[in-house]
């Protein structure tokens, strides 16, 4: 559990059964995704001049090896449930997290479950990219490297301030109905949306590495 335990969750603060709150939250999420998916589908139909019979409209991946977002969401949910089960088998009461792994090492009390999870992300991502032909090594523009450096530093600082990363507060904290996780994830969504809007409106730098 995140700091605060059950008292820091919605059921612990409000009082209703955890299952009831989980069902209501799940229904709200499904409703939002349903409306959002339908709107995206209609936009694609309008852009392509296609009708409702277009295969995969609104959910089709951009690249051949990519999964559609409904398939990806279901697969991610299944993997997360399996992760919680494996964590319990290993005697750990916390699900997927990356900040927890580095924080434990820094504190001199490494959590080997979280370390294995972090290494699994790297190895699994590499294997999946290689298997789908999406693995490539490339250079970036100088401004891109600067953005990556600044973004990584801000990400680390944000994870430290929030007491967890997108995985710790997202799949793990949200699954616990933790109040702080709801706030953190909402701020993440708003922050990503704001930065995306800024990057879309800013011109791309043509400067390449070595130029």
14-69 pLDDT per residue, tens: 888 878 888 888 888 788 777 776 666 556 555 555 444 444 444 455 566 677 77
Asked whether residue 171 is assigned to any structural domain, the reply reads: no
pTM of the model as a whole = 0.61
Can you give the residue range of the structural domain that contains 87? 80-138
- Percent helix, percent strand, percent coil in the chain, to nearest 5: 70, 0, 30
Asked whether residue 132 is assigned to any structural domain, the reply reads: yes
Whether 12 has a pLDDT exceeding 50, the answer reads yes
Query: How many Å separate Cα 88 from the centre of its chain?
Result: 22
Asked whether residue 113 is assigned to any structural domain, the reply reads: yes
Q: b/e per residue, 56-86, with b = 16+ CB within 10 A?
A: ebbbeeeeeeeeebeeeeeeeeeebeebbee
Asked whether residue 114 is assigned to any structural domain, the reply reads: yes
Asked whether residue 152 is assigned to any structural domain, the reply reads: no
Asked whether residue 9 is assigned to any structural domain, the reply reads: no
What's the pLDDT band for 117 if we cut at 50, 70, 90?
Answer: confident
Q: In the chain, how many domains are there?
A: 1
Give the CA angle between residues 96, 65, 63 to the nearest 5°. 110
Whether 202 has a pLDDT exceeding 50, the answer reads yes
Mean pLDDT computed over every residue of the chain: 75
Asked whether residue 134 is assigned to any structural domain, the reply reads: yes
Asked whether residue 121 is assigned to any structural domain, the reply reads: yes
Least confident of 59-73, 153-167, 180-194: 59-73
């Amino acid at each position: 559990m995140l700091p605060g335990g059950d008292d820091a969750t919605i059921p612990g603060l409000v009082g209703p059964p955890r299952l009831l709150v989980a069902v209501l939250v799940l229904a709200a999420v499904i409703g939002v995704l349903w409306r959002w998916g339908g709107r995206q589908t209609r936009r694609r139909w309008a852009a392509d001049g296609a009708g409702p019979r277009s295969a995969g409209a609104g959910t089709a991946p951009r690249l051949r090896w990519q999964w559609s977002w409904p398939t990806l969401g279901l697969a991610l949910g299944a993997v997360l449930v399996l992760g919680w089960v494996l964590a319990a088998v290993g005697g750990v009461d916390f699900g997927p997290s990356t900040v927890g792994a580095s924080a434990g090492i820094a504190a001199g009390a490494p959590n080997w479950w979280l370390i294995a999870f972090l290494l699994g992300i790297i190895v699994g991502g590499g294997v999946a990219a290689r298997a789908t032909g999406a693995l490539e090594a490339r250079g970036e523009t100088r401004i891109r490297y600067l953005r990556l450096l600044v973004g990584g530093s801000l990400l680390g600082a944000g994870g430290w301030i929030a007491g967890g990363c997108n995985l710790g507060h997202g799949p793990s904290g949200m699954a616990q109905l933790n109040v702080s996780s709801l706030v953190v994830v909402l701020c993440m969504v708003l922050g990503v949306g704001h930065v995306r809007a800024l990057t879309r409106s800013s011109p791309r730098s043509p400067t390449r590495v070595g130029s």
